[in-house]
Structure 1
Amino acid sequence: MYKLESSGNNSSRGHSWHSDCSQTGWDRDTEQVFLKFPMEKIMAKFDCIKTVEMHTGGHPLRIIQSGYPTIDGDTILSKRRFARDNLDHLRKLVMLEPRGHYDMYGAILVSPDLPGADIGVLFTHNDGYSTMCGHAVIALGRYVIDYGHVKATEPETEVNIQCPCGLVKAFVQVTDGRTGQVRFHSVPAFAFATDLDVDVVGHGKVTVDIGYGGAFYAFVSAERFGLDVRKSRTRDIVDAATAVSNAVKEQVKLRHPDDKDLAFLYGTIITDGNDEWSDEPTANMCVFAKAQVDRSPTGSGVTARIALQYHKKLITLNQKRTFESGACGSRFTGSAVKDTKCGEFSAVVVEVCGHGYYTGEASFTREDNDQIKNGFLLK
């Protein structure tokens, strides 16, 4: 596997590509086939969006490298609105099939407007634009250093990322010039409601907690639906979570002290119900946006879940927990590290830790006579 070198000039980045591929079946005959169809010439005829591909905890992150137009706006939330209202065709182009898939996730780097921020970012998914994404922040911590946006310092480099929800501080391990594990400190996270009954179609009254960790989530134990978050079919967990999300959206009015654009339910997280502190991992699965399934333990969901546990006095400051993805078994750690306030809400800063990995680079285009060139969702 090639190693990414820290450089401000992306075009000069060297890859030991042929030596790597020769070890995995690449040969000269295959190379000659590719040389007959030079993609550079094909791509030059059309608009091209280039990306860096990563994953954290199994969930993908498609980072826009070039090809996106300027996103206007004085604040990051106004940039989010501009992208939603004017550039959504490009989100669909890179998120949906045939270039993406139902559960693809993306990041668009923008200029920050907060003092001290190194970069700003907009997050994209199958239904629009989120306000926070922990798995993306973890991946971006590495990317920002490896692609020369922030100079690396050992043993740890601080990267300040302005998300739509606010400033998130990431701390990236750097060893012998190579980036690794990333931890981040969240925006103020809080319990919005606990032990709240909602009427869920097909399930009657269901008791949920609602927490904020950069985005709002409803939380409910899988046991309420006769499910096991580690063993049940994903489709069954998705159906239960979607029913809860629909009920909460209809019956609960959310609010956030900072901005009305933050006051919406992003998804429902089905848990194993083990909220009291333990040194054993606790599992959950997040279903967000348009019934999109997070493969990772969900960084902003871990943040909100810790805020709820801290509010209920089930954990104390600096008491670390391990959170496991019910989808693939990947793990993050999290802990409440500082008391704070968010408007009228007692809040907490949460530290979440994980590791993002590179999976490749890509160039995407579209041809005018392609009938499905703008993308589609397979339902």
Structure 2
Amino acid sequence: MHDADEPGRFRTLDLIDAHAGGDVGRVVVGGVELPAGTAAERARMLQRDGDGLRRLLTQKPHGDPSQCVDLLLPPSTPEAHAGLVIMGTMGYPGFSGSNAMCAAAAMVEARLVPLPDPEDDLLLETPAGLTRLTLTARRGRLDSVAYDALPGFAVPGDHVTEVEGWGRVRFRLVYGGVFYAVVNAAEVGLDPARTPVSELARFFDAFLPRAAGEHELVHPEHGVMPPLSLGLLAGTVDLQPEQPRVDLAVYMDGGVICRGPTGTGTTALLVWLHEQGRIAPGATVRAVSPFGQEFTGTLTGTTAVGDRTGVRTRIAGRPYLLARSQIIIDSDDPLVDGHDLPRGPSPAPGTS
């Protein structure tokens, strides 16, 4: 039990864990308070002044590097249902499809939004902008979440870097809501569907620091972006069957091969396929991870992204609830000491 004579020593965070495509999002629904601001401003504030929360919840014993933390906050715009800040070993991505799906499942579970009957929209304010998700219920539970992704695009031209053990590796820089270094798996002798996951991680551990150190990432509308922290290995492309399948592996800085294809990874894959002339608007593919988890991605059209031609995509998947819990943070615990944590309870999303 908490010691009432030591006010301020203990913190309690209210969590709902969910997964979408196998990737776990730990959704913080209470226990954190941040100053008013946009989701982007709050993400920058956490990175600058409160990064201990991210580090604490993505490390054992409070968390795990393979999991992301999704912080629900009141939105800064009245049209949004909630603000969402995403944190992981890679830092503070502007958007993540699987984490948006997990946040949607948690909001339904916590009754912050009603279960759709049978379909309804949910608008999330993320650091990358507003994203509208379509929630569909079936048999009294949330069955699927689909969303129109942020416009994706490829940086013009191939890039090449020298990687120890693999020689010269060719890749493209692709934006799917965050930037990825996309590598054709066949060119480096790997296959996301058959190569052991440990070997996929070994490749990315050697490759990504080389690629990240050589390129500044710039979005034509949003300016300089965070350093490269995500990689994508595009494997077997089978576009012949009725439901075309593409194997891929997504790597997250920190040594993690994601269990799912991820939402932004699926968008980046569609951008890459479109750049190669492999798919046209209207095409739908199943993006399948090394663990057999999948999302469906549809290339819905093209659009301008600043002075570049980008593509629009719609990503769909199914989130599953895992747990509802509380984490107790004891400031006297040496594992907590030194973590710069934001203070106070958070009002429920949708309130101010």
One-letter amino acid of the structure 1 residue matched with residue 120 of structure 2: T
Is the Cα contact below 8 Å between 2:169 and 2:188 reproduced in 1?
A: no
Judged with a 3 Å threshold, the aligned counterparts in structure 2 of structure 1 residues 175 and 193 are, in CA distance, closer, same or farther, namely same
Paired residues, number = 337
Which of 316, 320, 341 is 2:304 aligned to? 341
Number of the residue aligned with 1:313: 277
The 2-side partners of 1:81 and 1:229 are apart by 34
| Match in the other structure for 1:364 | 327
The whole-number CA distance in structure 2 between the counterparts of 1:218 and 1:305 is 11
Alignment of 1:102-141 (within 5 A): 102-114=65-77, 116-141=79-104
Taking a change above 3 Å as real, the CA distance of residues 336 and 92 of structure 1, as seen in their structure-2 partners, is same
Q: Find 2:316's aligned residue among 353, 363, 371.
A: 353
Deviation at residue 208 of structure 1 after TM alignment:
0.9
User: CA 1:355/1:43 → structure 2, altered by over 3 Å: closer, same or farther?
Assistant: farther
CA displacement at 1:199 relative to structure 2: 2.4
Distance in 2 (CA, whole Å) between partners of 1:344 and 1:277 is 34
* Corresponding position: 1:168 with 2:131: yes
Deviation track 1:269-328 (CA, whole Å, cap 9, x = no partner) reads 1121427675342111111132222111111010111122223321121211001111x1
Distance 1:195 1:360 in 2: 43
Residue in 2 aligned with 1:212?
175
**Unaligned 5+ runs, structure 1:** 1-37
- In the superposition, the TM-score normalised over structure 1's length comes to 0.81
Which AA in structure 2 matches 1:149?
A: L
Q: How does 1:145-160 map to 2 (within 5 A)?
A: 145-160=108-123
1:285 to 223, 243, 249: 249
Query: TM-score with structure 2 length normalisation?
Result: 0.87
Q: What is the CA deviation profile of residues 25-60 of structure 1, one whole-angstrom value per residue up to 9, with x for unaligned ones?
A: xxxxxxxxxxxxx68999997211110111111111
Equivalent in the alignment of 2:107 = 144
Deviations 1:175-200 (A, max 9, x none): 35432111111011111234332222
Q: Which residue of 1 aligns with 2:25?
A: 61
Distance 2:299 2:212 in 1: 28
Equivalent in 264, 267, 292 of residue 329 of structure 1: 292
Alpha-carbon contact 1:230-1:283 (below 8 Å) kept: yes
The DSSP-based 3-state class of the residue aligned with 1:302 is helix
Cα deviation 1:64-101 (Å, max 9, x = unaligned): 0211122x353322211101111111222222101111
| 2:92 match: secondary structure | strand
Q: Which has the higher strand share?
A: 2
1:331 maps to amino acid: E
Report the structure, 1 or 2, having the larger helix content. 1
Q: CA-atom RMSD, angstroms?
A: 2.6
Which of 227, 252, 255 in structure 2 is aligned with 1:264?
227
* Aligned equivalents of 2:337, 2:319: Cα separation in 1: 29
Q: 3-state SS of the aligned residue for 1:157?
A: strand
Q: Is the 8 A contact 1:256 1:263 kept in 2?
A: no
Partner of 2:57: 94
CA deviation map 1:131-176 (0-9, x unaligned): 1111111222233334333344422111111221222221110235
Runs of 4+ residues deviating >6 angstroms: 38-45
| 1:228-248 superposed Cα distances (whole Å, 9 cap, x missing partner) | 212222221112123222122
Q: In the alignment, which residue of structure 2 is the partner of 1:299? A: 263
Give, in angstroms, the shift of residue 262 of structure 1.
Answer: 3.0
Q: Please say which structure displays the higher CA radius of gyration.
A: 1
